[in-house]
């Protein structure tokens, strides 16, 4: 199934860094997110748009994962005319990731 079937995402960006916060629609699915969404897997999935490191932070009290994506290709929102490197576009692309329930 696609990630968006069990989760939603909030995004933000500053310069060439984007933050993507993933929340399960049902808190019972949080362990699935922890298992399926490694920093390496997110980095691979977004590799056409993220050139640098992806760092994952676990927020179990909120049932959320946050990914900080460094070195957005094209310089991120403040220096690019392309929509694909903006945080909101990256969050939609991340929600298209295939996960196992």
22 has which bridge partners? 9, 65
CATH number of 3-94: 3.30.70
N residues, the chain: 101
pLDDT at 83 over 60: no
pLDDT at 80 over 70: no
Q: How far apart are CA 44 and CA 16, in angstroms?
A: 18
11 has which bridge partners? 20
Handedness of CA 3, 9, 31, 47 (dihedral sign): positive
Q: Could you tell me the residue ranges of all domains in the chain?
A: 3-94
What's the rounded mean pLDDT across residues 30-57?
96
Q: Are 15 and 58 in contact (CB under 8 A)?
A: no
Q: What is the pLDDT of residue 85?
A: 52
């Amino acid at each position: 199934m696609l990630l968006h079937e069990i989760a939603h995402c909030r995004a933000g960006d500053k310069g060439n860094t984007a933050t993507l916060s993933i929340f399960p629609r049902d808190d019972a699915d949080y362990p699935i997110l922890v298992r399926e969404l490694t920093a390496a897997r997110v980095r691979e999935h977004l590799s056409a748009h993220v050139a640098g490191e992806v760092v994952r932070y676990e927020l179990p009290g909120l049932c959320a994962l946050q990914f900080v994506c460094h070195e957005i290709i094209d310089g991120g929102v403040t220096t690019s005319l392309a929509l694909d490197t903006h945080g909101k576009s990256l969050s939609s692309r991340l929600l298209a990731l295939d996960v196992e329930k």
